């Protein structure tokens, strides 16, 4: 047992150490001639511009052009993404051109431009979460830029249909447009078809599940951060690090981002991964064996991770940006986004296919922390995790 735990510990530290200290390259959001395809990633990074992706034909006049910034997989995921469909639907109705910007460093690109006092063209950001808003506000709090990065949304048509509990911005800048739940995904075909995921966090540390879990680094991954936060909810601020110590001793593998970890899972390097409870939506669309994409809500809970959109305060097209945000909340558009982004709509009456609920699993109980809780504590929690587990 000692030798096994020692090997697991070294594997854990090699994986986390490499991912934790490596800088994530940013990219420019300037237009390029052709759209490029990048692997999905939920990690941000530094914003030293090098190369980038813009979809659509930019024009000199911004009055009839809407520049939408978002994370790369929203536009060019290898499997499915809503970006191209949304562009076609929006342009078919509005006398405007929708242009995407997808810098690799995601929102960090625009934060750093603001810190540097450099203008940018984007009008709307799609894909905000609570942690990113806290990053924006912490930069302003340090006096690195004075004006707001995002404007208040105001009274957006369709906003009253957003489900209770999804709003996460106390300053009313970000408007939720979808949500996901972080859970375990597990492969029932492994161990000769005998494998079954544990049902509780405690069971996950049992010896029978040694070396069986792949997770993501909380300091570089949205899903990794959500899983860490779920363990804090389960074990408290005084107990979550000790729980992670037990996970480490039991052979957890921690990788830098969701893409790398999911590739390892698909290669059957382990029978469980921290991912999303909508995993079967993707698997069924791709004709994959659903036994390899089972969902487990530890403690009958899933960590909610809503995504929002917000208008940049210096947008050259504020009215068009507002129309786009209202367009995103229409029931039929909500349904289209959910199916293509493999998520849940932000509103209750989106007309989803009857079989969608069969594959998109909602937890019996939703867990999340508020903006105020995360603003006060998230930096401390992630720093404590990194010092203990990413320093080796």
- Identify the pLDDT of residue 164: 87
Rounded distance, CA 368 to CA 193, Å? 34
The CATH number of the domain covering residues in 2-21+181-304+382-389: 3.40.190.10
- Identify the pLDDT of residue 16: 42
Rounded distance, CA 133 to CA 110, Å? 12
- Identify the pLDDT of residue 191: 95
Burial of 280 (0-12, 13-18, 19+ CB in 10 A): buried
- Identify the pLDDT of residue 325: 98
147-192 confidence digits (pLDDT tens):
899 999 999 999 999 998 899 999 999 999 999 999 999 999 999 9
Rounded distance, CA 259 to CA 107, Å? 18
CATH for 54-180+306-361, options being 3.30.750.210, 3.40.190.10, 1.20.120.1200, 3.40.50.300: 3.40.190.10
- Identify the pLDDT of residue 31: 35
Fill in the DSSP letter of residue 160.
G
- Identify the pLDDT of residue 27: 34
The residue ranges of the chain whose pLDDT is under 50 are 1-62, 392
- For residue 69, give both structure tokens: 């910034």
pTM to 2 decimals? Answer: 0.78
Nearest to 152 by CA among 42, 310, 380: 310
- Identify the pLDDT of residue 258: 87
Which residues have C-beta within 8 Å of that of residue 147, sequence separation ≥ 6? 313, 314
- Identify the pLDDT of residue 142: 60
- Identify the pLDDT of residue 390: 85
| H-assigned helices in 142-238 | 190-193, 201-204, 222-235
- Identify the pLDDT of residue 84: 96
Q: Give CATH 3.40.190.10 domain extents, the chain.
A: 2-21+181-304+382-389, 54-180+306-361
- For residue 221, give both structure tokens: 């991954």
């Amino acid at each position: 047992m000692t030798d096994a735990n020692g090997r697991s510990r070294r594997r854990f530290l090699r994986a986390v150490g490499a991912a934790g200290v490596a800088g994530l390259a940013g990219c420019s959001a300037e237009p390029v001639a052709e759209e490029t395809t990048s692997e999905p990633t939920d990690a941000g990074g530094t914003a030293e511009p090098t190369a980038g992706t813009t979809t659509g034909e930019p024009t000199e006049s911004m009055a009839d052009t809407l520049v939408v910034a978002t994370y790369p997989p929203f536009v060019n995921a290898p499997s499915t993404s809503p970006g191209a469909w949304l562009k076609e639907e929006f342009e078919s109705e509005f006398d405007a051109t929708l242009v995407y910007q997808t810098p690799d460093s995601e929102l960090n690109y625009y934060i750093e431009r603001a810190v540097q006092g450099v203008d940018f063209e984007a009008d709307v950001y799609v894909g905000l979460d609570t942690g990113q808003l806290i990053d924006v506000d912490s930069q302003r709090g340090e006096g690195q830029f004075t004006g707001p990065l995002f404007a208040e949304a105001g009274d957006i048509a369709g906003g009253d249909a957003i489900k209770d509990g999804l709003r996460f911005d106390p300053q009313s800048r970000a408007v939720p447009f979808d949500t996901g739940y972080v859970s375990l995904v597990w492969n029932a075909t492994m161990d000769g078809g005998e494998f079954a995921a544990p049902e509780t966090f405690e069971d996950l540390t049992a010896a029978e599940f040694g070396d069986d879990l792949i997770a993501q680094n909380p300091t570089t991954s949205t899903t990794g951060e959500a899983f860490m936060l779920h363990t804090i909810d389960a074990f408290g601020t005084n107990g979550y690090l000790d729980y992670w110590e037990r996970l480490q001793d039991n052979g957890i593998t921690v990788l830098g981002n969701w893409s790398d970890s999911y590739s390892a899972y698909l290669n059957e390097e382990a029978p469980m991964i921290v991912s999303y409870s909508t995993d079967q939506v993707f698997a069924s669309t791709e004709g994959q064996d659903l036994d390899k994409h089972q969902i487990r809500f530890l403690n009958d809970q899933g960590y909610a991770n809503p995504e929002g959109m917000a208008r940049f305060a210096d947008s050259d097209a504020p009215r068009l940006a507002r129309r786009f945000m209202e367009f995103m909340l229409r029931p039929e558009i909500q349904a289209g986004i959910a199916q293509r982004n493999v998520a849940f709509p932000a509103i209750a009456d989106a007309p989803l296919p009857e079989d969608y609920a069969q594959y998109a699993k909602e937890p019996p109980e939703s867990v999340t922390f508020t903006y105020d809780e995360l603003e006060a504590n998230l930096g401390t929690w992630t720093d404590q995790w990194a010092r203990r587990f990413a320093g080796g």
